[in-house]
Chain A
Amino acid sequence: MRQKMSSLKNRILCRLDIQASAVVLLIVVISIAMSFVYDGFLSAYNIKAMLMSYVPEGIIALGLTLVIISGGIDLSVAGVMPFTAIVYCMLMKAGVHYLPGMAIVLAAAAAIGAVNNFLRRLLDVHPFIITMAVQLTLKGFNLVVTGAGSISGLPENFMEISQVRILGLKIPLVVFLLLAALWMVLLAKNRFFRKVYFVGGNPKAAELCGINVNRVMYFVFIQSAVLAAVAGIMAVFNYQAANYSYGSNLDTRAITAVVVGGTSMTRGGIGKIGGTIIGLVFIALVYNSFLLSGINTYYQDVITGAFLIGAVLIGERIKYRGKPGKKEDKS
């Protein structure tokens, strides 16, 4: 019995991540402080609004978590997201029903993800540069197509469906929550998803274990692009329009959420969806606090940047001190 207790204690300690705990603690402190200053900070209305405005970042951060665990990065998401929104609106305006339209843009996004990985492998360069180029290309396309403006005036049937609420929640929020739950369970339990950890932790070893590393990387980039497309579709649901500027800074904020949540950019194979969600809540909270406080919102990014550095500091300096993988003192 006693042994069982101690092993249970060990397992809890093992799971308790210092970085995630620190962020959760901050979230609690900020929430309490803000709810003293502003009545209704913790009201269902404000929480929903807060989350709603971070749905695109949230959905994209799910996909990026896998990309970063695999040891890569995907900047193209900031291009794919508005690209999808724009093409989706154009399709609907051209008379395509919103469901097949959705299928078309998701397929297009999957193709973009595949191209990302194809080029990465073909040119044998870091995905940073490839996905940045794809982002630029798509952003340029978006500007040209929209004439640096918006596409609105969507068909009636779409306007109706986009207003539907499920259990009082708007569709984008429901989709995000479902996807987050799904991705969390899959990444924790599913054998194919687990392969991402091996590929990120040690690609050579993964290959020797019989894991098809390239296939896993295709999957990682495709799911990232498809999730970015879902984010774009959800933006259209939210705003009933598409704008070329949807993706600006989206990549930075999504990456920040992932890293604040404990997924490591310096060593692959480390990270969890749960952490990313904590990171998202944290960023949403910080931005919302700024908004309510009426402090110049330009300071938001200063604070987020500082927290990002803090998270990396905790991650690299405290969590992994003396762990192999980086330079290590001799015994």
Chain B
Amino acid sequence: MDAILKLEGIGKMFGGNYVLKDVSLEIGRGEVHAVIGENGAGKSTLMKIIGGIYEPNEGVIRKNGEKILLHNAIEAYKQGIGIVHQELSVADNLTIAENIFAGRQPVNRFGFVREKQMCEDAGKILGEMGIRLDPREKVGNLSVAMQQIIEIAKVVSHRIDVLILDEPTSSLSNKEIAHLFELVRRLCREQGMTVIFISHKLDEVMAISDRVSVLRNGNFIGTLSGEEITASRMIHMMVGDQLDSRSFLAPKTPEGEVILRAEGLCREGKFRDVSFALQKNRILGIFGLIGAGRTESILSLIGADRLDSGRVTYEGREIRLSSPKEAIAKGIVYLTENRRDLGLFLPKEISDNVIAASLGAFTTKRHTVDRKKAGEAVEGYIQKLKIQPPVMDKPAGTYSGGNQQKILFSKVLLTDPKVLIVDEPTKGVDIGVKMTIHHMLRDLADSGIAVLLISSELPEILKLSDRVLVMHEGECRGLLENRDLTEREVMAAVYGEKEVQQ
């Protein structure tokens, strides 16, 4: 194989601990090479080393056989290596052209930007990528997906031949992902680009990669190519000997009464005639593609948004919630997908975070917090949800994404909800934490809570839901019992094919 990049024995330490150890791998010229692994496996660190942002403590990087030393991103660019970071780094208020040439705009003798030439150059770069956009457009007016494309254009404009994409799909819809992949293939085909691609989503990895390298705990596990690239094989390499993540988690308790019933919920332009019932001890999954109206209908249900018509019956009585606060007071709790908005106080200790929503229950007669009682309750959740590391006095912000998710769940559970609505609960977390959250949701349902799971990940829906409500373009497209339900059947319901209604 003709290797464009060769990593030999790369090691990186942070604060005395190895986050990467003796990683050696080869990237072939012109291939799409996926790098996968759980959170904390060292993928991003490795990419940042290749991209010049971190310097390795050990090992050598060779490009085209020659040893290269990189001290910053600019030096990496000079070696033809560019990295597109996970977080968007565009400047909203500036034009596409200015973003692409940030700080390198063509100028005349007096340091003034030559706008016309800059726009032409930007148009050319976009054209080569098959993107038709006016380079004078402000980036802030573009969709997130388009902003990401601009970001790629910015990196590509440095005339690179190795492009690193760090989790490029995490905030894109399926259609946008397809578009991005088309772009990646085009770059490889027409510009001879080599693309290194980090992802959590195995189906994406299978769709785009020529070869896949797996990292686990900072170690290189192996590289797969061609037909070796299968989901089970990748999962096995990523997590070692853990269970398959796909099989249905069956309920252990009998189904309870209907606690919440929604009938004919409508909001103009968003969703219409949405009906479902939530039972105690059961999980209802709502599946739909982006824009299906899942989140919107739930936001209206809990009073965070307008509801034009429809009836909500809760514990036998008709209710109309006017705010999420009222919903929480009644025992209906909604967890949004956006973890940062979920209300973790990142600089505060876990214990303070967990009791934040139920301070009333831990207040003594003298209006002070009953630390002992609170500590016991928090300790219980740390054990139950396996929060790592299991201590109470570390700031929440120092925990990994998955553990922050668990802290958040603890906080919600402490308020003793009857209905728990979770929106994309495992977005952006690694497989290990994902499985813990899945088991936790099932345990919660078994303990008598009615759970509503919104997810755009079909395997997750099939693994957890007792029933699946399928939504598409604001409408309910069917309520399916999960008895050996297959992905094909659900997708058929999404697109309205008759055969599923048997």
Contacts and interface: CB of A to CB of B under 8 A. Distances in A.
Interface stretch (A39-47, A49-57, A225-233, A320-328): A320-328
Interface stretch (B85-93, B204-212, B222-230, B411-419): B85-93
A201 B73 contact: no
B361 interface: no
B17 to A, nearest CB: 24
Given A210-B73, A210-B104, A191 B92 contact: no
Interface residues on B, range: 35 or more
B103 A201 contact: no
Interface in A17-57: none
Contacts, number: 89
Contacts of B113: 189-191, 194
Contacts of B138: 14
Contact of B94 (A197, A323, A330): A197
Contacts of B136: 11
A13 to B, nearest CB: 11
B121 to A, nearest CB: 14
Interface in A224-281: 267, 269-270
B295 interface: yes
A198 B134 CA distance: 20
Contact of A270 (B93, B102, B111, B295): B93
A206 interface: yes
Contacts of A11: 136
A11 to B, nearest CB: 7
Contacts of B341: 327
Contact of A324 (B92, B94, B103, B107): B92
Contacts of B337: 330
A205 B90 contact: yes
**Most chain A CB atoms below 10 A, which of B53, B104, B115, B140:** B140
B89 A208 contact: yes
Interface in A175-210: 189-192, 194-195, 197-198, 200-202, 204-206, 208-210
Interface residues on A, range: 20 to 34
A157 interface: no
B94 A269 contact: yes
B91 A197 contact: yes
A202 B91 contact: yes
Nearest to B151: A205
B500 interface: no
Contacts of B115: 189
Contacts of B77: 210
B338 interface: yes
Given A189-B112, A191-B105, A208-B73, A330 B338 contact: yes
B352 interface: no
Nearest to A192: B111
B68 interface: no
B144 interface: yes
Nearest to B94: A197
B98 interface: yes
Contacts of B92: 201, 267, 269-270, 323-325
Contacts of A267: 92
Contacts of B91: 197-198, 200-202, 205-206, 269
A330 B336 contact: yes
Contacts of B154: 209
Interface string A69-102: 0000000000000000000000000000000000
A211 interface: yes
Contacts of A210: 73-74, 77, 103-104
A296 interface: no
A200 B337 CA distance: 28
A321 to B, nearest CB: 12
Contacts of B107: 191
Query: 9 closest A-B pairs (Cβ-Cβ)?
Result: A205-B89, A201-B91, A209-B102, A211-B103, A210-B74, A189-B112, A270-B93, A191-B107, A208-B73
11 contacts: A192-B111, A194-B113, A201-B91, A201-B92, A205-B89, A208-B73, A210-B77, A210-B103, A269-B94, A323-B140, A331-B291
Interface of B: 53, 73-74, 77, 85, 87-94, 98, 102-105, 107, 110-113, 115, 134, 136-138, 140-141, 144, 154, 290-291, 295, 336-338, 341
Given A202-B91, A210-B74, A323-B140, 17 more contacts: A14-B137, A14-B138, A190-B112, A191-B105, A191-B107, A198-B102, A201-B90, A201-B92, A201-B93, A201-B94, A205-B102, A206-B102, A208-B85, A269-B93, A324-B88, A330-B295, A330-B338
Interface of A: 7, 11, 14, 189-192, 194-195, 197-198, 200-202, 204-206, 208-211, 267, 269-270, 323-325, 327, 330-331
